[in-house]
Amino acid sequence: MDVLCVENLHAGYGPIEVLKGISLVVRQGEIVTIIGANGAGKTTTLMCISGIVRAREGSIVFQGRQIENLPAHQVVRLGICQSPEGRKIFPRLTVQENLEMGGYAVASPAAVKSGIERAFELFPILKDRRNQAGGTLSGGEQQMLAVARAMMGQPKLLLLDEPSLGLAPLIVVKIFEAIRKLNAEGIAVLLVEQNARMALKLAHRGYVMETGSIVMSDKAEVLLNDQRVKDAYLGK
């Protein structure tokens, strides 16, 4: 079953068109990754799905419902939650308060409490830092907090924008292990990631984006072994 279906999506900023008619699908139980160079339109794609950037043309269908004209707060309530590029945690709030903010759309206090407990199970270091200001955490800890905060919204679709950016390799492994765990629990994931090799090893399927267009799509293992992808994104 398709959780998300994007068709012929156009979007941009002012006179600049960034997305030029992209189409993609995320199915139930999948991790789907979008790889591509800086400026290809990957983040704009996620921002459109989240309702932060308005689509100029095309459709975004989530669980059978058209959402391209919905404001961001309504998109979150439907079950699409995003961990943004650059983490964008609340630096003056504690870890606990950041998580509580992530659960603002959750009606039940018990569900918020359960979500925080789940976050601490997923990232035990956050439990140790629960009363520490977010801005004083290490980069890796802040990324864990950003993912955990997104999970507080009880997502059916989790959007992750560059979760490995600027992190040490060991921390990246931990973040990707957490993504795999969340997906195993039934959460569909759309992952934007410049570490193309790790993303394709994690994902079920992938899309390659260049200058606002999808130029390739296939099973992740096929893309991982495609010579064109190797030459452009994987290196030696």
Q: Tell me the residue type at 53.
A: V
Is 174 among the domain residues? no
- Do 91 and 208 sit in the same domain of this protein? no
Instruction: Let me know: does 63 contact 222? Beta carbons within 8 Å.
Output: no
Is 170 among the domain residues? no
Domain with 142 in it:
81-151
- What is the pLDDT tens value at each position of the chain, 236 positions in all? 799 999 999 999 999 999 999 999 999 999 999 999 999 999 999 999 999 999 999 999 999 999 999 999 999 999 999 999 888 999 999 999 999 999 887 768 888 999 999 999 999 999 999 999 999 999 999 999 999 999 998 999 999 999 998 888 999 999 999 999 999 999 999 999 989 999 999 999 999 999 999 999 999 999 999 999 999 988 75
Is 181 among the domain residues? no
**Calpha distance 224→180 (Å, rounded):** 18
Within 8 A by CB and 6+ apart from 109, the residues are none
pTM of the shown model: 0.93
CATH number at residue 61: 3.40.50.300
Instruction: Let me know: does 35 contact 206? Beta carbons within 8 Å.
Output: yes
**Calpha distance 41→54 (Å, rounded):** 14
